Amino acid sequence: MYKVRLIFLAVLIFLFCSAFKDCYKPVTNSGLPKHIKKVAVPAFQFEAKGARYRVASRFTDSVIREIIKRGRGIKVQGKREGADAIIEGKINDFSFSGVLLDRDGRARVYEVTIRSSVTIFDTKNDRIIYDNQNFVFRDSFEFSEDPRSFFNEEDPAVERMAKAFAESVVSTITNGIGVRKKKGT
């Protein structure tokens, strides 16, 4: 009786495992065309009104780090020469506003909104393979009520948004979402 149960259990495990063999397939390909091995990420342009310290460079650095982290062997460079593709970005709008007031009527919670654009250009085939002119990211930060413990949260909020932006762009590239394909391919 014990052997029958053991055989039944083994057959059940085998059937269960073989039924789900195609459910998990690791992603090994990039959504980019196969010939793209080197990607240039030149410094993003800051076209928003008003000066903000290093916003565009933070977004550029975050995209570069994310491609290195998740790019599946894609090499990253800053110069356009010799690149198979170019990722160009712009910070089109940067704003922050108070969204929550304290009992004295002062803003304590602020929301930062950054609207940006990104274009991926295939230099070998001389065509745009991805274009989104309206990436919008929002984050909030809070000022302390105690002026002695004041810490400007705007910089960490921008850092978080740059990371979220980079994750979104690289995910789009590596998963192929929104990457235009030629008809018939």
* pLDDT tens track for 63-110: 999 998 887 788 999 899 999 999 999 989 888 787 777 777 777 787
Q: Does domain 34-175 have CATH number 3.30.160.150?
A: yes
Give domain limits for the chain.
Answer: 34-175
Of the listed ranges 126-130, 135-139, 162-166, the one predicted with least confidence: 135-139
Per-residue pLDDT, averaged over 110-130, amounts to: 88
pLDDT in tens, 71-83: 778 899 989 999 9
Looking at per-residue pLDDT, the higher value among 111 and 66 belongs to 66
Q: Is the pLDDT of residue 123 over 90?
A: yes
Strands 85-101 and 107-122: antiparallel
- Intra-chain end-to-end CA distance of the chain, in Å: 58
pLDDT of the residue at 171: 83
pLDDT of the residue at 26: 46
Which residue bears the tokens 């062997």? 73
Q: Which residue, 133, 137, 122, is CA-closest to 173?
A: 122
Per-residue pLDDT, averaged over 4-23, amounts to: 64
Q: Is the pLDDT of residue 44 over 60?
A: yes
Predicted TM-score of the model (pTM): 0.69
> In DSSP terms, which residues pair with 157 in a beta bridge?
none
pLDDT in tens, 139-174: 777 766 665 555 566 677 778 888 888 888 888 777
- Give CA–CA dist 153/155, Å, rounded: 6
